[in-house]
Structure 1
């Protein structure tokens, strides 16, 4: 993968597919605090290494994986409802757009690139934060946890987004900030950019075609734009 300061060739795309948490919105501090509070309420340890493994995955799958720790008769739905209730706490870290997100979305739309969100979160959660951050109108479709059988790192969500947009996987570029998301993009056969925390990790950068911390600098453009400018 090219170094951060090396010339970056443009990736031409008909569509750009975005993870949500940590990629478009800076929700990771809020998410980690939610998981930390949930585990602490049950007297369970939840360190940074464990929290990092939750990134990019569906909450239901994380809960199911750790369900035995919550008690013999506890169900996934009970823990999920508890997590949802904790999400209403007023002192949680706020959710904001990540650096350069608005500028990139404006540029891609101007260049005729179709846009979609592929998130491990639920649809109501995605709609709430896309609307709250003022970027909901950019996206043709949102693929959420309810739309797939298998979450990331399975490629199902990204392949579904391609079908909804009417593009082939070779025509898209994926933006991801987690190991699970980058693996999903690779398994789908898509080109991908490591962003956010992934752009600061040598291990995750090696899984991507490019890495950018400022989304506005992402080297992606549309096919039609490239032809006009050549």
Structure 2
């Protein structure tokens, strides 16, 4: 069990605050199936934590005649189809955000998703109004694993990166946090412990993180 002092807390969204992975996996698999493109778990996992458009741009050879933007819009259109897996809050996520806000810790979300999507999920969690800042995939030139989004959050919160703690569930996100110079807490919602080895601390979910006077975080961890 460790204590981590912090001046700001920054959260990834998908897989960190809300488990959208089952739905996202179905969404991407449906896109590949629509073009008869074979896919496996490794290919689907390559989307985790990254902007979908960036991943699709690297797979352009599999979709001749289609742009990454067109493919992304098609994939997103599957989100509302009947029978899609439901999004589930990560255990402890809402309580942690509320406790941090009560302690006066500045809060931000840095997500690879676009703004309407991010705001809809945060509204669903009931924490949108507690966030001081939302940095989306549309707000940056270069997405995760590049640190641009996290550096922008630190700048706009007026906190040095080394004073912030960020929470991530995917290797690309962890790499972005560490490149920004922040302390990283990995959450094994969607990835095994080994995939988050670069994180400073790893927890099963956010029930393993408590806010204590300071303010600081008490991390039980794995």
Q: Structure 2 length normalisation: TM-score?
A: 0.92
Query: Which residues of 2 match residues 178-217 of structure 1 at below 5 A?
Result: 178-197=170-189, 200-204=192-196, 206-217=197-208
Query: Which residues of 2 match residues 90-169 of structure 1 at below 5 A?
Result: 90-169=82-161
Moved more, 176-185 or 40-49: 40-49
- SS state at 1:10 partner: strand
CA RMSD of aligned residues (A): 1.7
Q: Shift in Å at residue 44 of structure 1?
A: 0.7
Moved more, 207-216 or 175-184: 207-216
Report the count of equivalent residues.
Answer: 217
Identify unmatched segments of 5+ residues in structure 1: 1-7
Q: Distance in 1 between matches of 2:83 and 2:38?
A: 21
Contact 1:16–1:116, Cα closer than 8 Å, also in 2: yes
Quick one: which of 21, 31, 35 aligns to 1:28? 21
- SS state at 2:129 partner: helix
Structure with greater proportional helix content: 1
Contact 1:199–1:211, Cα closer than 8 Å, also in 2: no
Deviations, residues 113-149 of structure 1 (Å, cap 9, x unaligned) = 1110000011111011111221212211100011100
Moved more, 22-31 or 79-88: 79-88
Q: Distance in 2 between matches of 1:15 and 1:98?
A: 20
Aligned to 1:5: none
Aligned to 1:11: 4
Q: Shift in Å at residue 225 of structure 1?
A: 6.8
Extract structure 1 runs of 4+ deviating beyond 3 A: 197-200, 219-226
Q: Distance in 2 between matches of 1:45 and 1:193?
A: 34
Deviations, residues 163-219 of structure 1 (Å, cap 9, x unaligned) = 111100011001000000000011011100010336742241x21111111302225
Q: Distance in 2 between matches of 1:13 and 1:91?
A: 41
- SS state at 2:55 partner: helix
Cα 1:176–1:92, aligned 2, differ >3 Å: closer, same or farther? same
- SS state at 2:142 partner: coil
Q: Distance in 2 between matches of 1:221 and 1:151?
A: 33
Q: Shift in Å at residue 91 of structure 1?
A: 1.3
Contact 1:96–1:133, Cα closer than 8 Å, also in 2: no
Identify unmatched segments of 5+ residues in structure 2: 218-222
Cα 1:44–1:221, aligned 2, differ >3 Å: closer, same or farther? farther
